[in-house]
Structure 1
Amino acid sequence: MAAMRSHRRTPSRKSAWRALSAAALAGTLALLTACGSDSPAASWNDGKNEGGGQQQQQQEDSGPKQGGTVTSPAADAKDVPASTPIAFTLENASNPTVELKSASGESVKGAMQEDGKSWLPEGALDYGTKYTATVNATGADGKPTSNSSSFTTMAKPSKVVRVSSFLGENQVVGVGMPIIVQFGRAVPKDYRDDVQARLSVQSTPEQEGIWHWISPTEVHYRPKTYWQSGTKISYKMQTGGLPMGDGYYGRADVSVEIKIGPSFIMTVDNKTKKMTVTKDGKVIKTIPVSLGKPSTPSSSGTMVVIEKQRKTVFDTMDDPNPANRYRTPIDFAQRLTWSGQFIHAAPWSEGKQGRVNVSHGCVNVSEAMGGWLFGQTRIGDVITVKNTEEKLENGNGWTDWNMSWDQYVKGSAIPYNG
């Protein structure tokens, strides 16, 4: 699987120091909730409160020093966060590799980071456990070198943040679907770069993308252009044991795999009162519509399907304006905004569709076309509405595509280097 450019970064020395300091002072952290449900891919890794001693193995000094030295965690450090990377320096050496083992000799899997100066375990370490990190390298004289340093992880924290993915394992979604990660507690601004650095996305085929903080409790990821049809995506929130501010830590790591379905794009033009539907770039249907009347206009902008309901009831009886109060059974409802704009079947307006706007902001289609669309679409399919009296407000729905790429990258906690 090709690696997607997700603009990860290795935590800085400041971040590593902050993580260790936070652990020493507070001794406690968190992981994820999304849209009221945990990701089915979540694996809660509770640590073991086992003690650990200290051990440090040094290379004998025979001439100029050469080899690698672990710089973080510090030798014999205690209360190290379970999310810790292994940082090291090289002196008169090259081709470094890192080994990490528990006191029982169990090896920990991980990977070298892009900076070539740090190594990250593939999952949160066990709590209250002693580990030994070894940096192997080739010395300037061509001989192998090996230097080790030990540390002990913190006890299992009592203050944790749950992290969750909106999407479930192996779900098939539309080409406009953002990856949505939610946090059970607000992430302080000063910690968002460290959290974002632990969020990774891989796709086949490879497509450029970036994370965008929607709020302190929610971050989204989208590619530069719509996902390609058939793309396979694997993403991971490596937040278990990660310091997340105010003495909180990520509860666990979460991994999810999804797939992108066919490119299904709906374009509605108020000037023509028609919806044009394309599938994988080919026009397959033109549908008459009725949009919002002047007092309740539809929003112009790019949205995606948020949820689908075969049958529901629209109830606005609590609206302060008596003229907008109604309770109506609805077929084939597809939500576009949090404020209540949908695509749905409206048999009562079929004589107006294609000619006059009579809705309360929704995209009205016939009963037959409502059923047809409902059978075609997926969560994350794209709809663009044009030439209405009102602009779509960002945040009113999954409006990731209502922003330009330049606007979107401004929401990243890590500077974009594309």
Structure 2
Amino acid sequence: MLSNVPGMPRSARAPITGPAAATVFTTVLTEGPVSRVDVARRTGLSSAAVTKAARPFIEAGYLEELASGGRTAPGAGRPANPLAIRPDREYFVGVKITGDDLIGVVTDLRADVRASARHALTGHDVGHVVRALADLAGELLSDPGVRDRAFCVGVAVSGDVDRVSGVVRYSPFLGWRDVPLAELLQDATGLTTTLENDVKALAVAEKWFGEGVGASTFALVTVGAGIGSALVVDGRVLRGAYGVAGEIGHVPVAEGPACSCGGQGCVEAIASGEAILTRARQVTGEPALSMADAVTRARGGDEPLREVFAAAGHAIGLGLAALVNLFGPERVVVSGEGVATYDLFEEQIRRTFEVHAFGSAARCRLAVRPLPFEEWARGAAAVAIQGLFAADRG
């Protein structure tokens, strides 16, 4: 346990007490420096409401007023001092759990990474993972200047995650069911722990600090060990009644192989890294074929292997078209470790998407954004930052 991480009274933490405070703080965080007048214009709040909401943040050191340079707000008789985030007021730990590693970062309030580290996982036993994550957090917080201002950790894990209860309901890659991970980690680290599905966590970071900035609606789709997706509607990650809204990886698109979810012919069963490699070994008759060799040979013109990647691209294109037809986002961000081989199925993805996207939905922009796992950990930290807005924040 990080026994040297001190607690801090609620009065010394970010004083977010209601929707107006959250709106003002988020606006300055993602769009600042910005004047009170501009915050009011962008949010629809009155100038008085903005001033009232901002004052406690300034007093607690989360916001600061910058010199105006003598500018005045339109129609106002005094300088319009822009509000800005003080990024080093608080630090946040973010951890991405994979089947093989823990990838951790420390970020400031703007989710800029200040430190990063990796620890190998030698097993998936819950106790082992909790101990390894506590050790990783201790390493990341070795600097006393950072440790004394770090109170929260965000953890991103694949699968069905209940953020409210902090329970991993099902993670196929870890073999977990109904694991109260947030509680276990909070006991082990002494840090307030927020648990989130890894793709949703990445979507939070993209919404605030990446490709989603300025878009009221967008979707994030990840291609790799699985096919993940997250939807952002009116600036909020859409969870649905059961927390799994937008899971196109488990949309059946063909009469195909069995999926880890129990279904058949799902996008993930055809287009995940494991599914592609399994099919590549079948068509070549080489049970020891590696993904690296399959990629190299496909790029070299091996037609049967190229068809395997094209089939994966077709399945992804069908999933994207279904997502866009139902949801209508302004843009779709395609990311994940599988994007490194995007050249092998990009053409098929786009062709299938254009054929099956309904009407003007085909104009939705597909943006490819390769991201290392450190960015996923940054997404977990962004979820911890988002915890500043929780009404029951400790």
TM range (shorter): under 0.3
Larger Rg: 1
Q: TM-score normalized by structure 2? A: 0.25
Q: TM-score normalized by structure 1? A: 0.24
Structure with the bigger percentage of strand: 1
